[in-house]
Chain A
Amino acid sequence: MEPLEKPFSAPDSLRLIQQMIQSAKQDLSDNSFNLLLWGWLVLAAALTHYGLLALNYDKPWVAWPLLMGLGTVASFVDGARRARRERERARTAQGDFMTYLWAGFGVLMVMLIGMGAASGWRLAYPLIIALYGLSTFATGGALRFRPLIWGGAACWLLATVAFRVDFKAQLLLIAAAVLVAYIVPGHLLRNQYRRGRTV
């Protein structure tokens, strides 16, 4: 059965195409959740570690396993919810790129944590900061969101500095890195999403 349709002009046609493409884009999910989750958790863990070191506590690193474990659980729950939503709605090339990028980030992060545990954190921390930079930079490019691109680039500068300072100062550099690469851009991204603008 042919639908009853009004005659359809060339400008109508182009307008419809544009409208549909725009509408598909507006359905993009809110990508700020993981940035804010990990940003705040890493900031809290790094500053707690710094504070406990200053107080000469015997296990100053205690916040890391607790907070990172919490983050992993929250990330998995959110990931499962997001995957279900994608199956029931639409899958985008951008969404697929983000999944592979952050899965690769996770693998490399585990390797760097292993390296830190085995051969010392002083070398691992600058590399972890550089890895924050890479993933944020690429995410910013995919979302066409400049604060993430700048935040990612800033991480590389912080990583370079981190190679040259002691462990205590590295903890502050990690806190600064998540602030500029995750927390600030994450809040900006969330505001933009809530205002309903496409990215």
Chain B
Amino acid sequence: MAAPFSDLDPLLHSQLRLAVMSLLLSVREAEFNFLKEKTGATAGNLSVQLGKLKEANYLTVTREMNGSYPLTRCAITPVGVAAFEKYVADLQRYLKPGG
């Protein structure tokens, strides 16, 4: 089923990771709970997927304490923006008739 999309970036061709990257493209920086709320993901799954995107250097993750509770802030990197743009261009090629 995924065969026609085999050369789409596998890191981005996943619902949750793509949702996170789309959100981060629209803001400068977002907190973990903002991403969790907007994507409807569980905290565990979101953590795992953020880890994968971070490993690929698509985003940065900064942890800090805000009084007594921690804040985890994520921001997209230039590498992430370039990967996202390439992914959208690839998608558009697939959508073109005869493409």
Contact = CB atoms under 8 A, between A and B. Distances in A.
Contacts, number: 90
A185 to B, nearest CB: 24
B91 A7 contact: no
B25 A21 contact: yes
Contacts of A8: 2, 5, 13-15
B28 A96 contact: yes
Interface stretch (A38-46, A74-82, A87-95, A138-146): A87-95
Given A8-B15, A11-B95, A21 B5 contact: no
B14 A3 contact: yes
- B18, B27, B28, B95 — most chain A CB neighbours (10 Å): B27
A1 B48 contact: yes
User: Size range of the interface on A?
Assistant: 20 to 34
B61 interface: no
Contacts of B45: 1, 3
A16 B19 contact: yes
Looking at chain B's contact residues, the main secondary structure is helix
Interface in B30-88: 30-31, 33-34, 38-39, 45, 48-49, 66, 71, 73, 88
Interface residues of B, number: 32
Interface string B1-33: 110010000000111101100110111111101
B91 A14 contact: yes
A89 B38 CA distance: 11
Nearest to B25: A21
A25 interface: yes
A130 B48 CA distance: 52
